[in-house]
Amino acid sequence: MNDYLESEKIKIRVEFLKLRSMVNPVLMASYSVGIFMKVRRLSIYSSAKIVMFYLSCGSEVFTDFMIDLAFDEGKTIVVPAIKTPRDIEMHAVKISTLGDAYQLVCGIRQPKINPENIIEKNDIDLFFIPAIAFNANGYRTGYGRGYYDRWLKSVPFDKTVGLAYDFQITDKVPTGKYDIPVGVIITEKRLIQVKKN
């Protein structure tokens, strides 16, 4: 990645993390409920048997209650995990309850990884993707480690859904050749169906 692109991404991270940190937690919870109401109207969600959620951290769109409701609906839930902070490969790990994600790696909750609970990417029906900011073309600015961009390279575009608060949608998102867009973005106010390039 060139220095200019990385500096622009850093600016976006600083700006939008600050914006996100200023939102009242009660309001964030309300927004998150509104987002999930839209998620549940997606046909791809209704038909999905195996769903990959991220485990929300800090001021991200809350996913714990979404995961619990998805369990109630009989879905199999997987979440991202890495073996060590230096590891560049992300795994999809099956959980039976939120309590399975008892480890903290890089400040993010995750379950223990073992061969029995790793789910192959091709077996997952739907992927929920976090971001610090999205643009309307589905591109995202993440935290800078590149896990999701590497992960999404071989995931069908129409199986990916970005979750964000509406103020996180901006035309400022810088993109490079390794950035991968999501197929749908859902906020508390709207659903953005991204056109495939």
Backbone angles phi, psi at 63, to 5 degrees: -120, -10
Per-residue confidence (pLDDT) for residue 1, from 0 to 100: 55
Domain boundaries, the chain: 3-193
> Which token pair is 108?
């993010």
Mind listing the pLDDT tens digit for each residue in 168-195? Answer: 999 989 888 888 999 999 999 999 999 8
Question: Could you tell me if 117 and 78 are in contact, meaning their C-beta atoms sit under 8 angstroms apart?
Answer: no
- Residue 185 CA neighbour count, 13 Å, CB half: 26
Backbone angles phi, psi at 72, to 5 degrees: -60, -30
The pTM assigned to this predicted structure is 0.94
Mind listing the pLDDT tens digit for each residue in 44-90? Answer: 999 999 999 999 999 999 999 999 999 999 999 999 999 877 888 89
Backbone angles phi, psi at 183, to 5 degrees: -85, -30
Mind listing the pLDDT tens digit for each residue in 104-152? Answer: 888 889 999 999 999 999 999 999 999 999 999 999 999 877 789 888 8
Strands laid side by side in the 126-129 sheet = 91-95, 76-81, 50-52, 126-129, 160-163, 184-186, 191-193
| Fold observed for domain 3-193 | Rossmann fold (3.40.50)
